[in-house]
Structure 1
């Protein structure tokens, strides 16, 4: 009769991780591939990195946000947000303004040039989305969005 330690060892061996079947890995790979495809388009057509486009897109939906708020909305770390913001300010696409609720920080907002760029990029982004998900019917996409929300909720609970 096997000892308890031996039974645990057997259980671990039979439940070995197979990376191609590991859903967090597969999700990461799919996300990276989609991001790479999108990034190539943004870089080639508009000279934007993904992080820069994310800031432009979020700022287009607001009157201005702090870098901290941008980090929270985009799920990017402080350094990535800061570098993207600097690049966008240097290109004249984003301007810094005093934050009325916190005098120690600044809000970032799109300039007129930034809004014009957004108006060019947004239709391309929607076209990429249509091409990428064109083979799925509406109910598949609805379930996929619901599953993504459930995954995000599960991560929050971890």
Structure 2
């Protein structure tokens, strides 16, 4: 989607000499949406991780695997990676660590014996059941500066941005 020239260039810095003396296109990261979303996501994830990482010894990636499987049991590791848009290797490593700690169970898929499916073990659900309320409280605190209309607008805007990007 193209923006009108006046809008498209509103936040683009002019081309000019950089600190090395070479001419390069300039990018104002403070106005660049992917950068801003990434920084915000990282800050939110770190804040949430502080609530569970020390207590349960799990990483952000491991928590995301637990969260997905707590909601959608019986997925493969690839399905988890697709659902979370996380790297397959990172998900695979997280799954391996969670299996070692007996927080996950792996079974062969009923109709396709080559495919394994994952679900939370009782210990995995015990972790999930403690972290979910903490996560929801944390989400409420992150969204607290927004009123109800702004929260609804944020959800709507996120859905609009996500829609064309879904695989």
Aligned to 2:15: 13
TM-score scaled by length of structure 2:
0.80
TM-superposition CA deviations, 1:66-94 (whole Å, max 9, x none)? 11111111111111111110111111110
What runs of 5+ residues in structure 2 fail to find an aligned partner?
1-12, 17-24
Offset, 1:23: 2.1
Aligned to 1:51: 61
Query: Which of 86, 99, 103 is the matching residue for 1:89?
Result: 99
Cα distance in 1, alignment partners of residues 34 and 103 from structure 2: 36
Cα distance in 2, alignment partners of residues 156 and 108 from structure 1: 23
Cα RMSD after superposing both structures: 2.0
8 Å contact from structure 1 (residues 99, 105) kept in 2: yes
Aligned residues: 147
1:61 counterpart = 2:63: no
Aligned structure 1 segments of 4 or more residues deviating by more than 6 angstroms: none
TM-score scaled by length of structure 1:
0.84
Which structure has the higher relative contact order (CA within 8 Å, separation 6+)?
1
What runs of 5+ residues in structure 1 fail to find an aligned partner?
1-10
1:74 counterpart = 2:76: no
TM-superposition CA deviations, 1:12-65 (whole Å, max 9, x none)? 639842221222211211111111211222212221111111111111113311
